[in-house]
Amino acid sequence: MLHERIAAHAHRVPDAPAVTCDGRTLTYGDLDARAERLAAGLRTRVHDEDAVIAVLMDRSTDLIVTLLGVLKAGCAYLALNTADPDRRLAELVADAGARLAVAAPEHAGRLPDTVETLTLATAPSRTGPANVSSAAARADRAAAAQARAADDLAYVCYTSGSTGAPKGVGVTHRGVLRLVVSQDWLRLTPEDTVLQVSAVSFDASTLEIFGALCAGCRLVVHPGGGPVDLDALAATVTGHRVTVVNLATGLLHQLIESRLSFFAGLRHVVTGGDVASPALVARLLDAWPGLTFTNGYGPTENTTFTTCWTTSGPPPDAVPIGTAVTGTGVAVLDDAMRPVTAGGTGEIYTWGGGLARGYLGRPAATAERFLPCPFGPPGSRMYRTGDLARLLPDGNLEFAGRTDRQVKVHGYRVEPGAVEAALARQSGVDRAVVVVEQDDAGRKRLVGHAVPSGTADEGLGARLRASLAAELPGYAVPDTILVHTTLPVTAHGKVDRSALTSAGPRPRAVANAYVPPATPLQRRLTELWSALLDTAPVGIDDDFFDLGGHSLLAAELLDVMHKELGVEIPATALYLRSTVAELSEAVGETLAGREIRS
């Protein structure tokens, strides 16, 4: 069990540093003791087998204590993203059946009344003499903990489904142990310092947190929960002498392009979640020879990584996703379920110790994707990923897309059909289509196309985007919503999606008349937008996303505004106030009395 391995480190080296965040360090002894106090209190409130406890916190030492405490209590955690709208949080806790949550004080009021929400300060404890009834009670709790098996749930991670309903993947202790203990592609030692920067609702955090703690490393948590400030992240890595990082592919690309010195003190860089750029990986490894680089691939349903490709030399023309990790079986099969030969392309199927239980409360969806495995022992299962791969002559795999429309956008799995359904539900929309576009650098973004039920006005696209931002996670909100009088169709009467994604000028419901900036702040914002979006002139009524902005460029804009103007604006604010005029109003009060220079 995960918590037992960490407790063993606490017993052997109680004074070794375990978790550092924002100037605060917990030793392994501190971490284990604090988590046990929380677990003791949680046990008094939870008695169901496989109970799920929601956790709503930004990255912090308290977050790590809470996750470990939930596991020690014999429960599974549902890590929620604090950047998600409250409506989505309510959906997830209801779907998971979570009746108890542990939240940071600033987020404690965001969950529905059906969930009992505690903070670490208000969570009950049973460690003092007044609360510990007897040696028999302690023995009962120890026996209950030992009864937990490796196939019990460790956490629930949600991923978008083709129906638009969120699907909770039930991941076991065995799956996580296969990822962080049994593998041989990343050999961590107690001398390593591992960065934790992934959103805890994203399964990449599993590798960071439990990879470090199960190996006795020091885990350095980058504080916060919103967009990552690249300068602050670099300061965390250099200030704490981090040696191992796991970065989503989009973030890796940004850092290589703008802050190559970020990687100076690292010995191992891990990435995953999207197709890695060979040119940027080559630039990284050329700048820092001897650095080990791993490109990993895997669905949440097989506990983060299924295959890995590791190198310290230059990458080939396409960065492979590698071969199966230890404890995992992988086959690339054609439509007749036969293994493809070298050079052939087929669908990836996987089995072994990393396989999740299935989708929480969805037996039909589980049966559809988790199939009987002809390659393993009788009764074993395999997961049909829906991902395509080409089998290379050397045995490595090369990612080749999806069998359906589900795609990875900025490292997150998104089903355009689910976003399309949400857009079509919005007031004032008659028909809607969501497509995926890709720029010359290979970056993907969602673009919505809507036909209004009445006469369109110039603010409809912005209002629709704001409505979706209150309902969907940020990565699933289309970067642009274009308004049409009609949608193109094929000869068979279906929407011609290829026409919507073809090159050429995009339709807009209303062409905004140019309105020049009237204040120094507006002037500076138009200059920043013009430079970032490579367009001029920018007027104060122009929309950031209609001009070609997307979520990665939005993160760059917020980063520049923080550095140049000294203001911190959440990403959701830019979706809601996406013109220069609106954004200048949002930051004007913060900048009151300060001089803005253009």
pLDDT at 92 over 60: yes
Look at residues 182, 205, 237 and tell me which one is the last residue of a structural domain.
182
Average pLDDT over residues 199-203: 90
Identify the three-state secondary structure at position 586: helix
pLDDT at position 276, please?
A: 86
Q: Are residues 429 and 571 in the same domain?
A: no
**C-alpha neighbours within 13 Å on the C-beta side of residue 510:** 14
Q: Are residues 487 and 579 in the same domain?
A: no
Give the pairing type, strands 292-297 and 268-272: parallel
Confidence of residue 126 (pLDDT cuts 50, 70, 90): low
Position 488 in a domain: yes
pLDDT at 420 over 90: no
Rounded to an integer, what distance in angstroms lies between the CA atom of residue 366 and that of residue 370? 6
Query: pLDDT > 90: what percent of the chain?
Result: 49
What domain range includes position 73?
A: 1-13+25-182
3-state secondary structure 504-526: CCCCCCCCCCCCCCCCHHHHHHH
Q: Are residues 174 and 48 in the same domain?
A: yes
The pLDDT mean for the chain works out to 85
pLDDT at position 130, please?
A: 34
Rounded to an integer, what distance in angstroms lies between the CA atom of residue 565 and that of residue 67? 36
Overall domain count for the chain: 3
Q: Are residues 428 and 575 in the same domain?
A: no
Confidence of residue 437 (pLDDT cuts 50, 70, 90): confident
Q: Are residues 140 and 49 in the same domain?
A: yes
Q: What is the CATH number of the domain that holds 416?
A: 3.30.300.30
Confidence of residue 139 (pLDDT cuts 50, 70, 90): very low
Q: Are residues 576 and 447 in the same domain?
A: no
Radius of gyration of the chain (CA): 25
Rounded to an integer, what distance in angstroms lies between the CA atom of residue 178 and that of residue 211? 10
Paired strand residues for 434: 448
Over residues 238-257, the pLDDT tens digits come to 999 999 999 988 888 889 98
Over residues 476-524, the pLDDT tens digits come to 888 888 888 877 765 445 677 777 875 433 433 334 578 888 888 889 8
pLDDT at 449 over 70: yes
Look at residues 182, 217, 247 and tell me which one is the last residue of a structural domain.
182
DSSP 60-86: SHHHHHHHHHHHHTT-EEEEEPTTS-H
Position 200 in a domain: no
- DSSP, res 487: -
Q: Hey, what amino acid is at 441?
A: A
Q: What is the CATH number of the domain that holds 40?
A: 3.40.50.980
Q: Are residues 481 and 525 in the same domain?
A: no
Q: What is the CATH number of the domain that holds 524?
A: 1.10.1200.10
Q: Which residue has the higher pLDDT, 374 or 132?
A: 374
Q: Are residues 416 and 549 in the same domain?
A: no
Over residues 382-402, the pLDDT tens digits come to 999 999 999 999 999 999 888
**C-alpha neighbours within 13 Å on the C-beta side of residue 550:** 18
Look at residues 447, 467, 501 and tell me which one is the last residue of a structural domain.
501
Which pTM was predicted?
0.77
Confidence of residue 136 (pLDDT cuts 50, 70, 90): very low
Q: Are residues 161 and 115 in the same domain?
A: yes
Contact criterion met (CB below 8 Å) for 272 and 296:
yes
Q: Which candidate, 378, 396, 382, 398, places its Cα nearest to that of 328? A: 382
Q: Are residues 472 and 578 in the same domain?
A: no
Over residues 271-310, the pLDDT tens digits come to 998 888 888 899 999 999 989 999 999 999 999 999 999 9
Position 404 in a domain: no
